[in-house]
């Protein structure tokens, strides 16, 4: 069933246009009846009046519901877009798709929000042959703003900007709703299923700094979708199949001949891999045996499957150490999972006549793409192209995902572009219905602005990086003499929170599309937009109530009984900043750029500092230091700020601690 307000509004517009046409026709004719003008205009006007009456009842009912402030947080920007969308349609019904531009104001003198549609509408009307001043259009828009719960006043500025001032009483109610019900996500139109493919290391190789970005960014995306109420599948598409396993198994047989009866003590899998690769490159007899091992593995001979599992298990344990540090959970579904499906996928392309032969290979050309996908090699084996097509098929038709996101480095952009184009060509999905996105990211650079390497030129092991972060965060805490005030347990918690939080935040606070410079010194700095600063700020905000001897129960009771006053300009600025949280999430949902949340979090922290410096939350006796007055509505603003910050930390994968 459709939206009744939208249906009534559409019917009204149709009928009003018909009435205008008929009225003009009647006015221009001296004898309308004789000339055959339709005589049902009075009936139309009567039905139109009834529709308007019913529409107004529906609108009032909707406003009353909004005034009740449901448990979910309102997206103020979206609500303003609804209001101005209706006003624009009424002001200029002749424009079929009038632009709708509503944004937060950058300066207080321009109100709280701005509607900037009038100028673009004037250009559209000019193209239709009607020259109208944008200020006149802005005036018409204001005249047609429907009765609503949110807008206090409007004014026209400059060439046709509409400055919007929000109603303080309603904003106060939204803050009360947040305090009473907690940080609740905006309502979902429908609960969709999201598959996020991220991390994806290779078996028998250690995770390196290149896997850091995919793991951190992918986990944060999952946390965002989970908070918003989506069903999320976190997939780890590990490289656990291929010719490299032949040489690993052959080397395992030589080095640990009794591997079938006793678990081989492979301590350093990276060294084990290098040893086998050296033999593979230098020893022709070993290379031949390695290829035989691949054939036997693909034939699923039991002892070769066991050897393969042993190698995979050693890798999994190493991967899990990293995931435990970063508090990341994934479901492993590697390339081996799709082996049987690959044959079926190739057959589907062949049946549609989409496969061509090219020097013994089977390739697929997708429309608009300059390079083909190789689905079968000349030796009959499958490729990454085949496994990615099979994985995409499985996620669409078995998982039945509505949204698929691949979080990999920028270098794989063309590959995924071709895979997605091939899937659309064969009819697996319609991009207007199913969202399939590659979320690429740049590389991690060292402080010399070159690709991040060790001094010897090797790739940086991720576990080494995390351990270095722990060491440096402890040094930082001791420099601040936190070891003298925190218990050993509190110190360890603070150490992990700062170390892993700083590494994550340094990544997420940069636009993922760009390369970024990895610097422990910058990320551990407690000034500026860093996790160190924000975690300390959060701890301080949380301590305000504790130092005033106000417990959680008192704050909960105050939230239900105390109005949040917003009379001071800094109270008003903070209140509006808090309530922009749903708008920020809505934007990230669209572009998957998580640095926007980091920017907002930093803005919230600095806006709070402005508020706290200007507005006394707790007033103390200057001589005794005893609390003489608590301004409870300001304590509630502290509490609301902390609640939003905590949710931001949760989405970003940071773990704040009570004491730092």
Question: What pLDDT is attached to residue 71?
Answer: 80
pLDDT in tens, 217-239: 999 999 999 999 999 999 999 99
What's the whole-number mean pLDDT along residues 384-388? 96
Q: What is the mean pLDDT of the chain?
A: 90
Instruction: Provide the β-strand partners of residue 70.
Output: none
Contacts of 496 (CB under 8 A, 6+ apart): 470, 473, 655
Question: What pLDDT is attached to residue 333?
Answer: 96
Question: What pLDDT is attached to residue 590?
Answer: 95
Query: Which segment of 6-20, 195-209, 262-276, 358-372 scores lowest on mean pLDDT?
Result: 6-20
pLDDT in tens, 354-366: 999 999 999 999 9
CA distances from 198 to 333, 404, 587, 590 (A): 11, 11, 21, 19
Residue 454: pLDDT band by 50, 70, 90 thresholds? confident
Residue 164: pLDDT band by 50, 70, 90 thresholds? very high
Residue 198: pLDDT band by 50, 70, 90 thresholds? very high
Cα 293 to Cα 297: distance, rounded to the nearest angstrom: 6
pLDDT in tens, 482-502: 999 999 999 999 999 999 999
Cα 304 to Cα 283: distance, rounded to the nearest angstrom: 21
Instruction: Tell me: pLDDT of 204 over 90.
Output: no
Read out DSSP for 619-647?
EE-TTT--EEEE-HHHHHHHHHHHHHHHH
Find out whether 198 and 215 touch, Cβ atoms under 8 Å.
yes
451-457: list long-range contacts, CB under 8 Å, 24+ apart: 452/209, 452/518
Question: What pLDDT is attached to residue 59?
Answer: 59
The count of other CB atoms within 10 Å of the CB of residue 520 is 19
pLDDT in tens, 424-434: 999 999 999 99
Output 24 or 295, whichever has higher pLDDT: 295
Query: Which segment of 44-53, 342-351, 611-620 scores lowest on mean pLDDT?
Result: 44-53
Contacts of 222 (CB under 8 A, 6+ apart): 194, 196, 198, 232, 234
Instruction: Tell me: pLDDT of 20 over 50.
Output: yes
Instruction: Tell me: pLDDT of 69 over 60.
Output: no
Question: What pLDDT is attached to residue 650?
Answer: 98
Find out whether 73 and 177 touch, Cβ atoms under 8 Å.
yes
The percent of residues above 90 in pLDDT, for the chain, comes to 75
How do 516-517 and 444-445 pair as beta strands?
parallel
The percent of residues above 70 in pLDDT, for the chain, comes to 90
Contacts of 363 (CB under 8 A, 6+ apart): 355, 356, 357, 372, 373, 374, 375
Question: What pLDDT is attached to residue 61?
Answer: 59
Instruction: Tell me: pLDDT of 127 over 60.
Output: yes
Question: What pLDDT is attached to residue 5?
Answer: 56
What's the whole-number mean pLDDT along residues 309-335? 94
The number of helix segments (H) and strand segments (E) in the chain equals 23, 16
Instruction: Tell me: pLDDT of 66 over 90.
Output: no
Question: What pLDDT is attached to residue 298?
Answer: 85
Find out whether 628 and 548 touch, Cβ atoms under 8 Å.
no
Find out whether 313 and 203 touch, Cβ atoms under 8 Å.
no
Closest CA to 504 of 107, 272, 219: 219
pLDDT in tens, 399-442: 999 999 999 999 999 999 999 999 999 999 999 999 999 999 99
What's the whole-number mean pLDDT along residues 432-455? 91
Output 428 or 57, whichever has higher pLDDT: 428
Find out whether 252 and 264 touch, Cβ atoms under 8 Å.
yes
Structure tokens at 320: 């899990």
Instruction: Tell me: pLDDT of 12 over 60.
Output: no
Question: What pLDDT is attached to residue 30?
Answer: 46
Question: What pLDDT is attached to residue 37?
Answer: 47
CA distances from 353 to 23, 367, 378, 386, 392 (A): 60, 14, 19, 17, 20
Question: What pLDDT is attached to residue 33?
Answer: 47
pTM: 0.88
Question: What pLDDT is attached to residue 32?
Answer: 45
pLDDT in tens, 622-660: 888 888 899 999 999 999 999 999 999 999 999 998 777
pLDDT in tens, 179-189: 999 999 988 88
Question: What pLDDT is attached to residue 15?
Answer: 64
Output 259 or 173, whichever has higher pLDDT: 173
Cα 223 to Cα 219: distance, rounded to the nearest angstrom: 6
């Amino acid at each position: 069933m459709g939206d009744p307000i939208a249906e009534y509004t559409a019917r009204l517009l149709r009928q009003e246009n018909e009435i205008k046409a008929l009225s003009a026709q009647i006015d221009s004719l001296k004898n309308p009846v004789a000339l055959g003008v339709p005589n049902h205009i009075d009936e139309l006007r009567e039905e139109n009046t009834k529709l308007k009456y019913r529409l107004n009842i529906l609108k009032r009912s909707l406003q009353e519901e909004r005034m009740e402030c449901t448990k979910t947080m309102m997206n103020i920007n979206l609500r303003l877009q609804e209001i101005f969308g209706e006003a624009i349609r009424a002001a200029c019904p002749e424009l079929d798709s009038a632009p709708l531009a509503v944004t937060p104001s950058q300066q207080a003198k321009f109100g709280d929000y701005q509607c900037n549609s009038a100028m673009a509408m004037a250009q559209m009307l000019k193209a239709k042959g009607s020259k109208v001043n944008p200020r006149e259009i802005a005036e018409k828009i204001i005249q047609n703003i429907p009765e609503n719960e949110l807008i206090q006043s409007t004014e026209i500025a400059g060439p046709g900007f509409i400055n919007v001032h929000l109603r303080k009483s309603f904003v106060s109610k939204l803050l009360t709703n947040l305090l009473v019900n907690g940080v609740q996500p905006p309502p979902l139109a429908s609960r969709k299923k999201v598959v996020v493919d991220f991390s994806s290391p290779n078996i028998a190789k250690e995770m390196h700094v290149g896997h850091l970005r995919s793991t951190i960014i992918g986990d944060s995306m999952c946390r965002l979708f989970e908070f918003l109420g989506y069903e999320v599948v976190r997939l780890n598409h590990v490289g656990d199949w291929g010719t490299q396993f032949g040489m690993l198994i052959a080397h395992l047989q030589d080095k640990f001949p009794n591997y079938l009866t006793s678990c081989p003590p492979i301590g350093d899998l990276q060294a084990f891999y290098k040893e086998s690769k050296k033999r593979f490159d230098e020893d022709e007899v070993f290379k031949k045996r390695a290829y035989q091992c691949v054939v036997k593995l693909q034939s699923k001979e039991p002892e070769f499957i066991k050897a393969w599992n042993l190698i995979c298990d050693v890798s999994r344990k190493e991967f899990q150490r990293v995931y435990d540090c970063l508090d990341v959970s994934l479901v492993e579904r590697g390339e081996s999972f799709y082996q049987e499906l690959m044959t079926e996928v190739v057959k589907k392309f062949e049946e549609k006549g989409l496969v061509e032969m090219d020097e013994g290979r089977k390739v697929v050309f997708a429309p608009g793409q300059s390079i083909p996908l190789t689905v079968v090699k000349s030796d009959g084996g499958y490729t990454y192209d085949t496994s990615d097509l099979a994985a995409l098929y499985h996620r669409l038709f078995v998982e039945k995902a509505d949204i698929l996101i691949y979080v990999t480095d920028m270098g794989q952009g063309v590959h995924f572009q071709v895979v997605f184009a091939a899937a659309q060509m064969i009819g697996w999905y319609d991009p207007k219905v199913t969202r399939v996105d590659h979320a690429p990211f740049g590389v991690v650079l060292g402080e010399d602005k070159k690709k991040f390497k060790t001094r010897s030129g090797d790739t940086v092991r991720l576990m080494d990086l995390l351990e270095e972060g722990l060491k440096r965060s402890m040094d930082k805490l001791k420099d601040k003499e936190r070891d003298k005030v925190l218990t050993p347990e509190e110190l360890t918690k603070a150490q992990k929170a700062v170390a892993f939080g700083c590494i994550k935040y340094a990544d997420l606070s940069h636009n993922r599309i760009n390369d970024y410079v990895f610097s422990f010194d910058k990320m551990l700095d407690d000034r500026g937009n860093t996790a160190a600063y924000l975690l300390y700020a959060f701890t301080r905000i949380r301590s305000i109530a504790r130092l005033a001897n106000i417990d959680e129960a008192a704050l909960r009771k105050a939230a239900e009984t105390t109005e949040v006053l917003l009379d001071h300009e800094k109270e008003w600025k903070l209140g509006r900043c808090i309530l922009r949280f749903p708008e920020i999430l809505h934007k990230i949902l669209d572009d998957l750029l998580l640095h926007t949340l980091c920017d907002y979090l930093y803005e919230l922290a600095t806006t709070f500092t402005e508020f706290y410096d200007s507005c006394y939350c707790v007033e103390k006796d200057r001589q005794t230091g005893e609390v003489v007055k608590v301004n409870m509505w300001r304590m509630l603003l502290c509490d609301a700020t902390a609640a939003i910050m905590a949710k931001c930390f949760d989405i970003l994968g940071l773990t704040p601690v009570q004491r730092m």
